A and B are shown apart, each in its own frame.
Chain A
Amino acid sequence: MSSKINGHVSPQPCPHLLVFRSRNGPKPFRALQDCIRVKPPGGRAAIRREPTEVPRCGTCEESSRSRLYACVACAAVFCHAPLLHSHASDHSLSIPGHEIAVDVDRAELFCCACGDQVYDRDFDAAVVLAQTVNATATTSTSGSTAMQCSVAGSQPENLRKRRRVDYRPWEPDSGEHISRGNQSIPLLDATNASLVSSTQQPWGFRGLNNLGNTCFMNSILQALLHTPPLRNYFLGDRHNRYYCQQKNGAINGTKNSRLCLACDMDALFSAVFSGDRTPYSPAKFLYSWWQHAANLASYEQQDAHEFFISMLEGIHEKVEKDKRKSQSPGSGDCCIAHRVFSGILRSDVMCMVCGFTSTTYDPCVDISLDLEPNQGGSGKSSSAKSLNSFNFEADCMRPNQNCGISTLKGCLERFTRAEKLGSDQKLFCQKCQVRQESLKQMSIRKLPLVSCFHVKRFEHSSIRKMSRKVDRYLQFPFSLDMAPYLSSSILRSRFGNRIFPFDGDEQDASNDLSTEFELFAVVTHSGRLDAGHYVTYLRLSNQWYKCDDAWITQVNESIVRAAQGYMMFYVQKVLYYKESENQGTS
């Protein structure tokens, strides 16, 4: 019943629809579009001539039927229950040309002769536009819009087409057991008793000395040293610094040797995972990074996030490129930095006048989130509002919503919310051929292996010539499911079963990888903008450790929950393994 044209799935019109279209011009449902009413609380579209109209069947006067259809040709309303009585079918049979009708409570086109739904692109676009306008007009700070309700409540059961295998930690099979016993030497044997004591820190923990306001660097390095795919890459010798330098002639002692940040990372990993527990001074690394980011080379305190970005860029630039592979960061084939951190964001901009939407894709290595503007009210005022408002479902669906506390999920919801761009930001619409007011919505097309969330706590105002830090607490979860923020979820909740006015091929993006993530590192900032300190909390096997420059200590998870998160690092759950309790056994 449908065909794919240029990637768009278009249902084939039935013969009655074709005839109807030929008789009523190119836009036969134009008048119907004026009757589209979007009803709170669900944000569903209905067809009503007057907003307060109560539709009744013209033949039997019943208004309580479950399916009522309005004939598009003459606007008469009839009931339709094919087994009992269908006054809609009677009507369509009695007058030729009156086969096409619209479900008054669902705003869906129907052919009474075929007994099946039919679709019209322009009509569907108008319905979606009406729903979108309604949803964005009713945004509130603490409550949620109709669209938010559906995002929060939707089950992504359609995202997966293949049966998924449950996650199980690896156990060696019989062959692997044998080869382990014969040819391998335990890393930690009984003679190194101190290493197997339970008070010892896990492998790869080593303090980093502060070389002069370099906690911004130390905090990020600690997070990267324990980013599972990155750690595995370097410890697995995937970038061998000796080989790399030899290739670039550095061993010959040439002064302007081709600097490679990945080589410095390799050296850092070797030093930190060597087993030596004394604090390490990453001086060489700092020097290399200064050469790469000359504008940031000073002993002044820098922004950890800026350092993170410039480091990834540095690795990308200096790593030997494989000419055969794609260089676009989005594919992740260019370098290890993008392979680990790069995802793809999707941006949809919809014209508010005609509904035409243009889509762009951009790679990103992290997501910067705004903290909510000040809630203003205390918990009391928000709960009073919810008692009186329509949206009791919103509170039913989110019983844990604490009025007034900012959460990471709240930030992500706002990030993927459809936003009306101001009238001073009109964008050019290809269909209308003029600048029009637009609606923009972000969503995630492809998830990275590691999601880094950056909270915009530092506000720089060039107008007021000042910067300030936002200290507001942000709650973040230890486990995070990114499914609601994927493009497929966002689009599905927005368009439902309507024809997408653009490429709706989002089925495959999320099928390859899971959407569940685990938190493994939190970079926190305490103090003022000009005099502050960065500290990183790392999570290994559900144990939390605080990395404060040269000092690494075990801490309770409540300390981490209460900390002021600046950057949060989440890794795909399947890559986050729990180490075995007893590291000494073979």
Chain B
Amino acid sequence: MSHSHKLVIKRSSMSRPPPPPPTTNKDQQHQNPSLQEINIKLIQSGEKERLKELLRERLLECGWIDEMKALCRKKGRNNVTVDDLVHVISPKGRASVPNSMKAELLQRIRAFLASTAD
């Protein structure tokens, strides 16, 4: 177990392609399940829990969790609430997740949806 190796967290911009325009075609609605539907499918199959565990492991490996802990400690111990901490670290946290990690999770979700599609 190495305690002293440094990891560089790549800061990526949040630029994403714009979301596709909302469809009115009812057939299309079947092909593109809503976020809600996907979420429920993931939860009910237990896949969401597995993905969360995978994500935790990856974030731990790349030092993201340690970074967040350091940010929290900077806030101090006194007169700090959970809501304060969430408010402080959320933007930085979201911005510093490596793209490779996002890609991996997206890949897994796609694979899962494909495997369970009717």
A interface residues (Cβ-Cβ under 8 A, vs B): 1, 39-42, 44, 52, 54, 62-64, 67, 82-83, 110, 114-117, 153, 155-157, 390, 392-393, 396-397, 481, 483
Contacts and interface: CB of A to CB of B under 8 A. Distances in A.
B52 interface: yes
A130 B3 CA distance: 32
Nearest to B43: A54
A110 B53 CA distance: 23
Nearest to A390: B50
Contact of B57 (A54, A63, A397): A397
Nearest to A64: B39
B44 to A, nearest CB: 7
A470 to B, nearest CB: 30
Given A52-B44, A115-B82, A483-B1, A42 B36 contact: no
A115 B82 CA distance: 6
A481 B2 CA distance: 10
A82 B83 contact: yes
Given A41-B53, A64-B35, A393-B57, A157 B66 contact: yes
Interface in B1-38: 1, 3, 35-36
A62 B82 contact: no
A257 B86 CA distance: 73
Contact of B49 (A39, A114, A117): A39
A63 B3 contact: no
Contacts of B44: 52, 54
The 3 closest A-B pairs by CB, nearest first: A115-B83, A116-B81, A64-B39
Interface string B49-69: 110111011001000001000
B111 to A, nearest CB: 13
Nearest to A515: B1
27 contacts: A1-B77, A1-B78, A39-B49, A40-B46, A41-B53, A42-B53, A54-B40, A54-B43, A54-B44, A62-B36, A63-B36, A63-B43, A64-B35, A64-B36, A82-B83, A82-B86, A114-B81, A115-B81, A115-B83, A115-B84, A116-B81, A116-B83, A117-B82, A155-B3, A155-B60, A393-B54, A397-B57
Nearest to A117: B82
A155 B1 contact: yes
Contacts of B56: 42
B49 A116 contact: no
Interface of B: 1, 3, 35-36, 39-40, 43-44, 46, 49-50, 52-54, 56-57, 60, 66, 77-78, 81-84, 86-87
Contacts of A62: 36
A166 B53 CA distance: 34
A41 B50 contact: yes
A452 to B, nearest CB: 22
A153 B82 contact: no
Nearest to A89: B83
Contacts of A83: 87
A392 B46 CA distance: 14
B1 A481 contact: yes
Contact of A153 (B49, B50, B57): B57
A62 B36 CA distance: 7
Contacts of A54: 40, 43-44
A44 B52 CA distance: 11
A484 to B, nearest CB: 8
Contacts of B84: 115
A62 B35 CA distance: 10
Given A82-B87, A116-B82, A393-B57, A42 B1 contact: no
B45 to A, nearest CB: 11
Nearest to A46: B49
Contacts of B83: 82, 115-116
Nearest to A158: B69
A56 to B, nearest CB: 9
Contacts of A64: 35-36, 39
A110 B49 contact: no
A409 to B, nearest CB: 12
B40 A157 contact: no
Contacts of A153: 57, 60
A99 B49 CA distance: 28
A543 to B, nearest CB: 26
Contacts of A157: 3, 66
B25 to A, nearest CB: 24
A475 B81 CA distance: 48
Contact of A42 (B35, B39, B49, B66): B49
B84 to A, nearest CB: 8
Contacts of A117: 82
Contacts of A40: 46, 49
Given A1-B77, A52-B44, A156-B3, 12 more contacts: A42-B49, A44-B49, A62-B36, A83-B87, A115-B82, A155-B66, A157-B3, A392-B50, A393-B50, A393-B54, A393-B57, A481-B1
Contacts of A481: 1
A393 B52 CA distance: 11
